């Protein structure tokens, strides 16, 4: 059985290979201020970043402040974010986010984890991303569906929820790498390590991934 130190060493090598394989990561949610990042990341749940960006390109021109979302019509929001899926819940979340930001934080997005988690639809993953990108605070490793899938396949964690998995993954990497680990795993998950039929024969990790040997018989990458 692999020891913790062996897992940590392998995790370091995996990140090194992914950095080399993907000089450019993404695309991810596009934003120009913390409020846009909160909104875009919340909308990205169960939706592609490409679709979110098409939606927010219009949305962000109309809703500029937390007050705009707080005062918005739910019906109007539903129509405007319909293509992002789960539009009824997400529209309520948008209005709720606006209200809480106005009532508790003067309309500004807070820079503390416990405060961000008060916002409707904002998970730990979303909060970690907002803190890292908007405030430069690396307090947690964001675990989305791609990270959750790949971390399991790579043998890093057997946790059943993203919330439980995140602190386990954080033990393998320095805090400054938390966001990068998220972004490289997402990029690799989209390109190679798909939910079904992962392209193990094309994977730069196939000789150090415990799942690759199970998923396909291949010659190791050197």
Placement of tokens 């690799």 in the chain: 188
> 215: phi > 0 → left, psi -120 to 50 → alpha, else beta; which?
alpha
User: Which residue range is the domain that position 48 belongs to?
Assistant: 34-135
Residues 12 and 40 in one domain: no
Is there a domain that residue 221 lies in?
no
143 has a pLDDT exceeding 80: yes
CA 56, 62, 64, 67 torsion-angle sign: negative
The answer to whether 63 and 69 have CB atoms below 8 angstroms apart is yes
Summarize pLDDT for 23-78 with one digit per residue, the tens.
Answer: 999 999 999 999 999 999 999 999 999 999 999 999 999 999 999 999 999 999 99
For the cut 50, the answer to whether the pLDDT of residue 8 exceeds it is yes
Annotated active-site residue 125? The verdict is yes
Residue 215: other Cβ atoms inside 10 A: 17
Q: Dihedral of CA 118/60/137/85: which sign?
A: positive
pLDDT value of position 221: 37
Matching residue, tokens 């490409």: 50
Count of domains observed in the chain: 2
The answer, yes or no, to whether residue 174 has pLDDT greater than 90, is yes
From CA 109, how far away is CA 117, in angstroms rounded? Answer: 11
128 plus 40 within the same structural domain: yes
Residues 81 and 169 in one domain: no
68 catalytic? Reply is no
pLDDT confidence tier of residue 218, bands split at 50, 70 and 90: very low
Give me the catalytic one of 144, 171, 176, 199: 144
Q: pTM score, two decimals?
A: 0.91
b/e sequence 52-81, b meaning 16+ C-beta within 10 Å: bbebbeebbeebeebeebbebeeeebeebb
List the CATH number of the domain containing 164.
1.10.1670.10
Same domain, 59 and 99: yes
**ω into residue 47 within 30 of 0, thus cis?**
no
CATH number at residue 127: 1.10.340.30
Residue 48: DSSP 8-state? -
Catalytically annotated residue among 95, 125, 133, 164: 125
What percent of the chain has a predicted confidence (pLDDT) above 90?
94
> Are 91 and 74 spatial neighbours (Cβ–Cβ below 8 Å)?
yes
What ranges in the chain are assigned the alpha helix state H? 4-21, 34-43, 49-62, 66-70, 74-80, 87-105, 113-116, 124-135, 145-153, 162-170, 178-191, 212-215
Mapping DSSP to helix (H, G, I), strand (E, B) and coil, where does residue 63 land?
coil
């Amino acid at each position: 059985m692999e020891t913790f130190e062996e897992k940590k060493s392998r995790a370091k090598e995996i990140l090194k290979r992914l950095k080399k394989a993907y000089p450019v990561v993404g695309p991810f949610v596009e934003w120009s201020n913390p409020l846009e990042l909160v909104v875009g990341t919340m909308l990205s749940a169960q939706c592609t970043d490409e679709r979110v960006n098409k939606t927010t390109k219009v949305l962000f021109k109309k809703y500029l402040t937390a007050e705009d979302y707080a005062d918005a019509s739910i019906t109007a929001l539903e129509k405007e974010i319909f293509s992002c899926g789960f539009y009824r819940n997400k529209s309520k979340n948008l209005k709720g986010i606006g209200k809480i930001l106005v009532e508790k934080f003067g309309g500004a997005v807070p820079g503390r984890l416990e405060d961000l988690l008060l916002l409707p639809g904002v998970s730990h993953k979303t909060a970690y991303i907002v803190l890292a990108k908007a405030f430069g605070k690396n307090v947690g490793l964001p675990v989305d569906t791609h990270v959750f899938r790949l971390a399991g396949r790579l043998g890093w964690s057997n946790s059943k929820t993203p919330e439980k998995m995140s602190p386990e993954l954080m033990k393998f990497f320095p805090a400054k790498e938390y966001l990068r680990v998220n972004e490289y795993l997402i990029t690799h998950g989209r390109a190679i390590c798909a939910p079904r039929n992962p392209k193990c024969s094309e994977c730069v990790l196939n000789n150090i991934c415990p799942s690759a040997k199970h998923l396909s018989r291949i010659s190791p990458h050197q």
